[in-house]
Structure formats: structure tokens, C-alpha cells
Amino acid sequence: MNAPKTADGYAILRNPRTNKGTAFTLEERRALGVEGLLPPMPSSLEHQVARILGELDQVEGDLNKYLILSDLQARNERLFYAVIMSDPATYMPIVYTPTVGEACQKFDHIFRAARGIYLPITAKGRVKELLSNWPVEDVRFIVVTDGERILGLGDLGVGGMGIPIGKLALYTACAGVPPEVCLPVTIDVGTENEELLDDPLYLGLRQRRVRDEEYHAFIDEFVRAAQDLFPRSCIQWEDFANRNAVPILERYRDAICTYNDDIQGTAAIALAGMYGALRITGGKLVDQRFLFLGAGSAATGIAELIAQAMVLEGLDIDEARQRTILFDVNGLVTANRDDIAPFQRPFAIQHEPIGTFVEAIRSLRPTGIIGVSTVPKLFDQTVIETMSELNERPIIFPYSNPTSRSECTAEEVYRWSKGKAVFASGSPFGPVEIEGERFVPGQGNNVYIFPAMGMAIYATEARRVTQEMFIVAAQAVAEQVREDHLAEGLIYPPQSEILDASLHVARRVAERIYDDGLASVPRPDDIATQIKAKAYQPSYQR
């Protein structure tokens, strides 16, 4: 058998960061040794984008479109981002929520090219060795999951890798963080999902989840290895179960540059929604009372950030926390309950037990309700009508995602409230018309926060991520909502403008980083120019 000859040109076509596909010029083809390996007539990037968009238009089903884009990302990275950035409002829901949820559920059956780093607990003691196999030395962002609580879908094991991949794609597409500095990671400590354990195609460890000391020791090993290999990196924790998400954040938040998007990013986008809603309803944040359906890490993260924002408006922290009230599967979270976790206790109130959510609304008279339960349809007609009876403009935020887990739909809220509600959701809903009036529902999507946070950290090389940075991010999102948006009920900037919105948020957060002395680079005269200069643009001229 003949030995294969060295094929540098062929390798260039198989590397998504060097491949231009049909856009290689005739001169480049000769110089790189790819002449004859491509159709003879070169294309422009614009023509390539048009070709992909045409292909996507012919495909039925968002999961199939997700797979086309995933394959494109694996073969031509610049073309992938050019497609996404050509129409972010259309393609973000395909590369991330809600479509990524289905992709994670079917991960083992649709697996194609490997992407990112997998760290199984069977490799304990060798995590640094595995991480060092990543071909890029200057990693700035690591998004990591252990797959236990993927969106509202539960334990998906290694199938959760779709989340870090999707998140990092949005770091680039929405805020210009260069893709080469991003690393998706999945920590595999097993799964409790019986269907996965019984599935012969499952790609993860076939064992029950490791817990407690052994689990946290493995997390420690990962953090140490990441810090040793990538000392300028920021770690974003993603879709960890409550039992691990909160202690992991508490352990590392003051030691390294890190944050948890489910806790802090969700909190910031919810707070941004509050600021936007108050521009419609009137009043101050400190005058509001919010009731949460769900009491996990997302709920307490939102509640704590709202409370801290209230403190900035003059309220005592304890009093502020009493205005962010939790309700879970066992009813109102009260101080006399013995089944609440330590992270929930600051929000427990002195009150008689209440067993139904509607009863809690009637008793506590909140100005807004926030759904983070991941249980669909819990904001039923009675809930919405009760909120509308108590408030001239009730704030209704069903934030659970994907769409199948939303506490209600936009159409239900606008119809049951007779158009009075100020609405935002975690999943996308289309415009709604009620009695001749058009409403545009806002999506309280973390995409307004984490990519911008990433760009601010990248530009400043921040050493830490603070709660105050998330409050600034929330304010920066809300201040971009125009009056014509508010007139239609929209309380977030349009997703079609996500890049400009993210760069604005990044500038405001970077200013705070410099003000707090957390940057590792000198403060420039013009922060906006600094950030714009660092922002990635999908171009073959790079």
C-alpha cells in the first residue's frame, strides 16, 4: 500500500480556522497547495453566506438547521459566524435556546465532530494532562458544565456539551469575543438519567453521579489545572444543579475570575427587565415587591441582585430581601420551614404557611411575578387575572426555558390581562395582537449579558467578576430600550441589534472594572474604541 504524502493544503481545508472553502483566491490556491481540491471558480464570503442561507431556507425543522450550522462551524468558522451575525434574531434561537435543548437531548444520536474538552472523573489526577491537549495556549474563556441540570430538561450527562458550545458561539456572534480564545468543557461524573444509562449509543460514563467530597475534589483539580494552563482565563459555570452551583460559586468567586451565568447572568437580565418594565409602569425599584415561582439558584440569584440594586437606591439589605419572596413546591418559603437550604434562608419571611401560588399573590400583593420553576403552565388564567386585579400594570416574567418549560405563553398573558401586563419570557414568543393592539414580547435572554460580560473581561483582562458588574450590565441593557420599543411592550433591545447592544454593555462594564481597579491592562483614553478594536469580525482578511 502506498504511504500517504504530506498534504499541508488538504489540512488547511480541514481546519475550520484556516479554511475559506471556495473563497480561496486563485493565487492562494497555488501558494497553499489546494489548487484542484476545490471547484475552479472562487466565491466571495457574501456569496458563501447566501448559499448557506438558501440551504437553511430549504430545510424543515430547527434541529436540522442546527445540525447544518454545527457542521459549518466544524469546517469553516468564519463563514459560520458570518451567517449567524447576518441575522442574529433568526439564528440565535437555532444555535442556542430553544433548539439547543433538543440537540442536547439527542446528543448521542446526532454526534458528529468532537468539539471542546471532555473531563471524565475516571481521569482524576490527570486533568491537566487532558486539558493540555487543547491546541490553543491563550484561552480566555472556559464555559463548563457537568450536565446535571441542562436548561429545564434535567440530567443529560455528556449531552450537556451543547450548552458550552452554544454559549461560546454567542460570546463571539453577539459581542465579538474572538472564537479562538474560547474553550467549551464538559465534566463527566456520571448521570442519574436511566434512559441514558440504558442507551447503547450514550457517549458518557455509564455510572451513577459521583457526589460530595470526591466530586468537589475533582472540581478543584479542574480549576487548578485551568489556572495553571490558562492563567488569563475566566471560568463560566453553566447548568450545574443547585446542590453544586451555589457552593462552587461561593468557593471560587473571590479567588479567581469566575461567574455562574445561571445565577448571576439570569439575575442581571431579570433586573434589566425590571428597569425596563418600570419605564412603562412608573415607580422606583425600591417600591416593588416580587414573588418568585421557584426557589432554586436562579431564583435566589435574581432575588439577591434585585435586593442589592434596591440597596443602591437606599434600602437596607434585609428589608430589600423581604421584597423578593420565594414560593416553591412546598409553598411559601417562610422562616419557620425546616426544609429550606442555606442559600434560600436570607429570603425566608415571617409569615403563615401558604400552599397555593394564587393565595400567595392575594396575601402578599406583589407588583411582579417571576417564573423560574421549569414547570410549564403554572402561570394559569387565575394567576394572571389575580395579578391584573391587584395591579394596573402587572409585571409577568415566565423565565423558564426552553419554550416547552415556560410557565405561560405571551398570548395567554396578554389575553388574560386584557393587554395590561408587562411581559418578558425566557424563551422566544412572536408578536401578539389583542383587540387590535399589537404587543411585542421581550425575551429575557442572558444573551444580553454574558457575551458583553465576556467582552468586557477580555478587553480589560479583569481579575475578578463582581456583583456590581452585573448591576451595571443590567442598567446598560435597560437604557438602550427606546420609547418606540416601550410603546409595543418591548422592554429589551431588539435581538436584531444585539452586537451594538452588547458592545454598549461591555463598555459600561469595562468602565466599572477600571474604576474598581480590577483590570490587568492600563485604562485607555477611549474604552469604547478599545473594545471595538478587539471585537471579532468574520472576514477572510483577518
Looking at the structure, do residues 409 and 283 belong to the same domain, yes or no? Answer: yes
- Identify the DSSP state of 472: H
Last residue of a domain, one of 407, 428, 444: 444
Identify which of 505, 426, 466, 452 has the alpha carbon closest to the alpha carbon of residue 304.
466
Q: Write down the pLDDT at residue 358.
A: 98
Q: Where are the beta strands (DSSP E) in 364-411?
A: 368-371, 395-398
Q: Judge if 433 and 492 occupy the same domain.
A: no
**What proportion of the chain, given as a percentage, has pLDDT over 70?**
99
220 and 268 part of one domain: no
Here the CATH number for the domain that contains residue 315 is 3.40.50.720
414 and 512 within one domain: no
Q: Please say if 5 is a catalytic residue.
A: no
| Final residue in a domain of this structure, among 206, 231, 256 | 256
Catalytic residue among 81, 96, 252, 275: 96
203 and 228 co-located in one domain: yes
96 among known catalytic residues: yes
Is the same domain home to 107 and 229? yes
| CA distances to 77, 384, 409, 424, 518 from 378, in Å | 41, 10, 11, 16, 42
- Beta carbons of 260 and 237 less than 8 angstroms apart: yes
Convert the pLDDT of each residue in 235-292 to its tens digit: 999 999 989 999 999 999 999 999 999 999 999 999 999 999 999 999 899 999 999 9
Which pLDDT score, from 0 to 100, does residue 4 have?
44
Grid cell digits, residue 539: 472576514
CATH of the domain at 52: 1.20.1370.30
CA dist 476 and 497 (Å) reads 14
Residue 350 shares a structural domain with residue 243: no
Which member of 66, 81, 91, 167 is catalytic? 167
- Domain ends where: 84, 119, 139? 84
Domain that holds residue 343: 264-444
Looking at the fold, whether 400 and 457 belong to one and the same domain comes out as no
How many domains would you assign to the chain? 4
- DSSP letters, 158-182, are GGGGHHHHHHHHHHHHHH---GGGE
Neighbouring-strand partners of residue 182: 141
- 459 and 416 assigned to the same domain: no
pTM of the model: 0.92
Same domain, 387 and 302: yes
- What pLDDT does residue 524 have? 97
Model pLDDT, residue 113: 87
Check if the beta carbon of residue 417 is closer than 8 Å to that of residue 385.
yes
**Are 234 and 284 in a shared domain?**
no
- Domain match, 478 and 337 both: no
- Residues in the chain with pLDDT < 70? 1-7, 542
- Cell representation of residue 434: 389583542
In a domain, 2, yes or no: no
Is there a domain that residue 540 lies in? Answer: no
